[in-house]
Amino acid sequence: MAAIRLHGTPYSTAVARVLTTLYEKELEFEFVEIDMKAGEHKKESFLSINPFGQIPGFEDGDLKLFESRAITKYIAQEYADKGTQFKCGDSKTAAIIGVWMEVEAHQFDPVASKLTWELALKPRYGLATDTAIVEENEAKLAKVLDVYESRLAQSKYLGCGCFTLADLHHLPCIHYLLGTQAKKLFDSRPHVSAWVDAITARPAWSKVLALQKQQG
Ligand SMILES: N[C@@H](CCC(=O)N[C@@H](CS)C(=O)NCC(=O)O)C(=O)O
């Protein structure tokens, strides 16, 4: 059994965030597919990893973790000498990277996740999109992306001049939204658009997409 085990489905945005990090770090790991339709994430064996019954669940030897962003931070620290470094500069730069990780979690994700659900996932499940929710959240996302546009006019990536977790954490929702009408919000902002091109071109992200395809 591999020391690192990631439980989930690669289609989940939270799981894809962790998968991308593992691929960026070039780590060996076992992917344990969780059948959510069968309610496997609510069964005792999985609840011993994540008591909230949500994917991802993560194990590294005796260590059990949940919450995707806490897992990616652990991987980046524990395996600092492997693969992508995810950092540049001094402690002040690290603090700025930290700010943009919080921005992703508290400004971008709540809005992007609602749009992902309404525009990308509901249609897949044959559910009707709520246009009022879409309108409200597209307006909110536009405001968030205006801030990103000014930031990215000064810095190639959000936290600093190199790719870090602050950028990586955005990938799964951005990927879903690029397949929807919300794509226009990214395309219409030149610096945001160049940043989206740079982060979605990462080989680690292609590996996540390949795993999604493989799982059907
Ligand atoms: N904040 C959590 C969110 C985890 C989450 O919402 N997972 C979803 C899939 S993306 C899930 O397990 N949903 C099923 C449920 O809540 O029962 C993280 O980042 O890990």
Q: Select from 196, 121, 211, 183 the least CA-distant residue to 157.
A: 196
For residue 89, the model assigns a pLDDT of 85
Indicate if the pLDDT at residue 196 is higher than 80. Answer: yes
Ligand 1 neighbour 121 (Cβ under 6 A): no
Give the distance (Å) from ligand 1 centre to CA of residue 54: 4
By most ligand atoms within 8 Å of CB, the mutation choice from 11, 49, 50, 54 for ligand 1 is 54
Residues 3 and 62: their CA atoms lie apart, in Å, by 9
Q: For the whole model, what pTM was predicted?
A: 0.97
Where exactly are the structural domains of the chain? Answer: 4-83, 91-203
For residue 43, the model assigns a pLDDT of 96
Residues 93 and 90: their CA atoms lie apart, in Å, by 5
Position 86 confidence tier, pLDDT thresholds 50, 70, 90: very high
For residue 88, the model assigns a pLDDT of 86
Indicate if the pLDDT at residue 76 is higher than 80. Answer: yes
Q: pLDDT tens, 105-155?
A: 999 999 999 999 999 999 999 999 999 999 999 999 999 999 999 999 999
Q: Is 12 exposed, middle or buried (0-12, 13-18, 19+ CB in 10 A)?
A: buried
Which amino acid, residue 43? K
Give the distance (Å) from ligand 1 centre to CA of residue 13: 8
Indicate if the pLDDT at residue 25 is higher than 80. Answer: yes
Atom 2, ligand 1: residue with shortest CA distance: 67
For residue 2, the model assigns a pLDDT of 75
Tell me the pLDDT of the chain averaged across its residues. Answer: 97
CATH architecture under which domain 91-203 falls: Up-down Bundle (1.20)
Residues 4 and 214: their CA atoms lie apart, in Å, by 20
What CATH code would you report for 4-83?
3.40.30.10
For residue 158, the model assigns a pLDDT of 98
Ligand 1 neighbour 130 (Cβ under 6 A): no
Residue 173 vs residues 32, 122, 149: alpha-carbon distances, Å: 22, 14, 18
For residue 36, which atom of ligand 1 is closest to its CA? 14
For residue 67, which atom of ligand 1 is closest to its CA? 20
List the Cα angle 171/172/178 in 5-degree steps.
Answer: 85
Ligand 1 neighbour 67 (Cβ under 6 A): yes
Atom 12, ligand 1: residue with shortest CA distance: 54
